[in-house]
Amino acid sequence: MQKMIKTVLFLSAFVTFSAMSEALRIEITQGVSSAQPIVIVPFSSEQVIGGLPVDIAQIVSDDLARSGRFKPLPRTDMLNKPSSAEQVNFRNWQSLGQDNLVIGRVTPTANGMLTVQFQLFDVYKGEQLTGFSIPANTANLRGVAHRISDLIYENLTGQQGAFSTRMAYVTSMMGANGKQEYKIQVADADGYGAKTIVTSTEPLMSPSWSPRGDKISYVSYEGLRSSIYTQTLRTGQREKLRSFKGINGAPSWSPDGSQLALTLSKDGSADIYIYNVITRSFRRLTRSYAIDTEPDWSPDGRHIIFTSDRGGKPQIYRISASGGQAARVTFEGSYNARASYSPDGKYIVMVHRVNGQYRIATLDLKSGFTNILTNGSLDESPSYAPNGSMILYSTNDGLKSILAAVSSDGKVRQKLRLQEGEVREPAWSPFK
């Protein structure tokens, strides 16, 4: 068997945030019975003095399990723990009914650096499917583990993995001064590494990622007036868009990063406007007596969907980004809102009311079929993973607001909780 290990240059973006906060705890509440069996053997690290700060193999195993498409073998059931291709006995893993095997090792290099190597095997064919060598340091080992998960996921499913992405969300809890404290935080897709980018005693809303993932726009009520800010994650620098009288809300980045769609009421009614990031100019897109809000760009940048009650009830409409007449998109149900496009542009995800309950649903734009994915009473703020496999949203757990995730087919469900406080308004980042 020929060993083949490619080298991957791992780039970890330098991001400036405040101190690390509590991680979101993820609970898988529903999985797929047909999940693919896989073995993630603990990575060898005997040569690393002092050991490693994280368990790379466990992170990979947790990532793949969260996808719902894989069922990692418990370590207690492993017959042995090979770290090189020569040590692998495929018949052992075949006898356990495993489809694939991942082994790896971490070795020190010059200047205090590390090299993380892994190999993915097809157990029944006895062949290596892929293998990579990734330079690392102790500070970015979690990121390296997520990158390994991405590479495994893509090789076995044909779909790009999203384990190296991040999520933004709003938390709220009572501060030491007895006042409610709001934060926008950013965490890895598995809930770890949460860091605060802004804190306020007034509400924070609607975080929206720039297409490069280097900025977040959001709404702040500092000074008891809604304003839209854009904050650069690397430096912490933020810029306030011109704040008009009335509503300033719901920012959404264009796919090329040159424009923001947003809701303004500066000319009377709440309408959709386009803000040019380069020229700093505003262009009115809709003109309606009703409330037009919650815009989202199509992946090709040609259209914008938004929520409007111009027909009497909140429904989803679509308009050309260059202007023109808006066309209604949703017709099933009396309430559809907060819609966004799937990464391939074939679906939208939205809040859909059923018998007084607010659920997350997808709409097939070609067939018009609506698929209800969740069963909560107040599910809101859905956000697609950049590969379209999962949808992040907020929901109620008793009297507390938490985050949840559901696969785009509704077969996999997760809950993400903070030990203290509430969390809502999630936004999944683009690919790095």
For position 22, what pLDDT does the model report? 63
Asked whether 153 and 67 are in contact (CB, 8 A), the reply is yes
> What CATH code is carried by the domain that includes residue 238?
2.120.10.30
Residue 417 has a pLDDT of 84
- 141 phi and psi, to 5 degrees? -65, -35
Domain stop point among 128, 157, 186: 157
pLDDT in tens, 165-203: 999 999 999 887 888 999 999 999 999 999 999 999 999
Question: Both 137 and 185 in a single domain?
Answer: no
7 inside domain: no
* 401-406 contact pairs (CB < 8 A, 24+): 403/24, 403/169, 404/374, 404/376, 404/379, 406/360, 406/373, 406/374
Q: Residue 86 and residue 63: Cα distance in Å, rounded?
A: 27
Q: Is residue 339 part of a domain?
A: yes
Q: 263 and 300 in one domain?
A: yes
**Would you state the structure tokens that stand for residue 340, as one six-digit string?**
């966004």
What is the pLDDT, as a whole number, of residue 128? 97
**Same domain, residue pair 134 and 184:** no
The strand pairing partners of 205, in sequence order, are: 219
Instruction: Tell me: do 152 and 172 sit in the same domain.
Output: no
Please say if the pLDDT value at position 11 is more than 50. Answer: no
pLDDT band at 110 (very low <50, low <70, confident <90, very high): confident
> Does residue 134 share a domain with residue 197?
no
Inform me whether the pLDDT recorded for 1 exceeds 70: no
pLDDT digits (tens, 9 = 90+) for 56-73: 999 999 999 999 999 999
pLDDT given at position 28: 67
Residues 179 and 123 in one domain: no
Q: Give yes or no: residues 339 and 249 share one domain.
A: yes
* Same domain for 236 and 114: no
> How distant is the alpha carbon of residue 387 from its chain centre?
9
- With beta carbons less than 8 A apart as the criterion, state whether 393 and 374 touch: yes
The average pLDDT across 150-175 equals 96
Would you say residue 13 has pLDDT above 50?
A: no
d(Cα 230, Cα 239) in Å, to the nearest integer?
A: 5
**Do residues 195 and 18 make contact, with C-beta atoms less than 8 angstroms apart?**
yes
Classify residue 129: in a domain, yes or no.
Answer: yes
Residue 311, Ramachandran bin (φ over 0: left; ψ between -120 and 50: alpha; else beta): alpha
pLDDT tens, residue by residue, 274-314: 999 999 999 999 999 999 999 999 999 999 999 999 999 99
Domain that holds residue 355: 167-428
Domain membership of residue 190 (yes or no) is yes
Residues 124 and 187 in one domain: no
Phi, psi (5° rounding) for residue 65? Answer: -65, -40
pLDDT-based confidence at residue 111 (cuts at 50, 70, 90): confident
pLDDT at 247: 96
Residue 40 is assigned to a structural domain of this protein = yes
| Cα-based distances in Å from 155 to 102, 121, 128, 150, 416 | 12, 11, 11, 9, 27
Please indicate, yes or no, whether residues 322 and 393 belong to a single structural domain of this protein: yes
Question: Which of 112, 129, 157 is at the close of a domain?
Answer: 157
What is the per-residue pLDDT for 16?
42
pLDDT of residue 5: 62
* 116: pLDDT strictly greater than 90: yes
pLDDT in tens, 24-52: 777 767 766 689 999 999 999 988 878 89
101: pLDDT strictly greater than 80: yes
Indicate the number of domains in the chain. 2
Assess whether pLDDT exceeds 60 at residue 19. Answer: no
The residue ranking higher by pLDDT, 399 or 361, is: 361
397 occurs within a structural domain: yes
| Residue at 3 is within a domain | no
Output b/e per residue, 250-287; b: 16+ Cβ within 10 A.
bbbbbeeeebbbbbbbbeebbbbbbbebeeeebeebbe
- pLDDT of 333-363, one tens digit each? 999 999 999 999 999 999 999 999 999 999 9
CATH code, 79: 3.40.50.10070
The answer to whether residue 98 is domain-embedded is: yes
Residue 366, pLDDT above cutoff 80? yes
Note whether 208 and 308 are same-domain residues.
yes
Last residue of a domain, one of 126, 157, 188: 157
Assess whether 133 and 187 both reside in one domain. Answer: no
pLDDT above 90: residue 96: yes
Amino acid, single-letter form, for residue 262: L
The answer to which of 11-20, 329-338, 422-431 has the lowest mean pLDDT is 11-20
Using a pLDDT cut of 90, give the percent of the chain over it.
Answer: 84
pLDDT confidence of residue 274 = 98
pLDDT at 20: 53
Strand order in the sheet with 281-284: 248-253, 259-264, 271-276, 281-284
Q: Reading across the β-sheet that carries 422-428, which strands appear in turn? A: 195-200, 180-188, 166-174, 422-428
